[in-house]
Structure 1
Amino acid sequence: MAKEDLLTLDGQVDEIFPDGRFGVLLENDHRIIAYTAGKMRKFRIRTVVGDLVRVEMTPYDLSKGRIVFRDKGPGGGGPPGVRKGKRR
């Protein structure tokens, strides 16, 4: 396995920690600590408890990962750009 090979797994955010880290429960019932990728931070993509995420991990440390994709959980929000409330 080359150094650049990454494992990509799906999971669900179950806890939010300070400093931009998240507790993620993977599909195989393994719990890891993950942080948001740079592009997600750049475009201010928010992650909340219950979101389904895709996590990249290195095979050398299977307790940490990087969130690279976020999918809203079941029943999460409407179409993007729609505001609730009255606009003046």
Structure 2
Amino acid sequence: MGTKKNFVVLEGVVSTAYPNGMFTVYLDNDMLVLTVVSGKMRYRTIRIVPGDRVRVELPLYDLSKGRIIYRYPVKRNDDDNFLPAPDEF
């Protein structure tokens, strides 16, 4: 993976979703940033919903807009049963 000198990479949580793949992300340093989904994530159709933890790339010249470059996997509890019990059919 190449290094980019003119970008800052931060982490945060998606707070709201807008049309056309735009999101508002609340960063760990208490900033609110308007972001878009990166091209590779859009190509792979990675679904992002409010509440997801993401990695955001911000350009140094405008820290109010950015690009979502990674969505962290959702941790699932083993106690959760997503299939109905056989008695419920």
Give the TM-score category using the shorter length: 0.7 to 0.9
The list of structure 1 runs, each at least 4 consecutive aligned residues, that deviate by more than 2 angstroms after superposition, is 72-76
Contact 1:53–1:67, Cα closer than 8 Å, also in 2:
yes
1:11-58 Cα offsets, whole Å, 9 max, x none, are 000000111100000001100100000000000000001100000010
- Calculate the TM-score normalised by the size of structure 2: 0.77
Deviation at 1:72, TM superposition (A): 3.7
Deviation at 1:75, TM superposition (A): 4.2
1:9: which partner in 2? 10
Deviation at 1:74, TM superposition (A): 5.1
What is the distance in 1 between the residues matched to 2:15 and 2:76?
16
Structure 2 residue 66 is the aligned partner of structure 1 residue 65: yes
Specify whether residues 58 and 4 from structure 1 end up closer, same or farther in structure 2 by C-alpha distance, changes over 3 A only: same
What code does the residue aligned with 1:46 have? R
What is the distance in 1 between the residues matched to 2:46 and 2:18?
16
Structure 2, unaligned runs of 5 or more? 85-89
Q: How many residues align?
A: 77
Provide the identity percentage: 43
What is the distance in 2 between the residues matched to 1:69 and 1:13?
12
2:39: which partner in 1? 38
What is the distance in 2 between the residues matched to 1:84 and 1:4?
47
Structure 1, unaligned runs of 5 or more? 77-82
SS in 1 for 2:42: helix
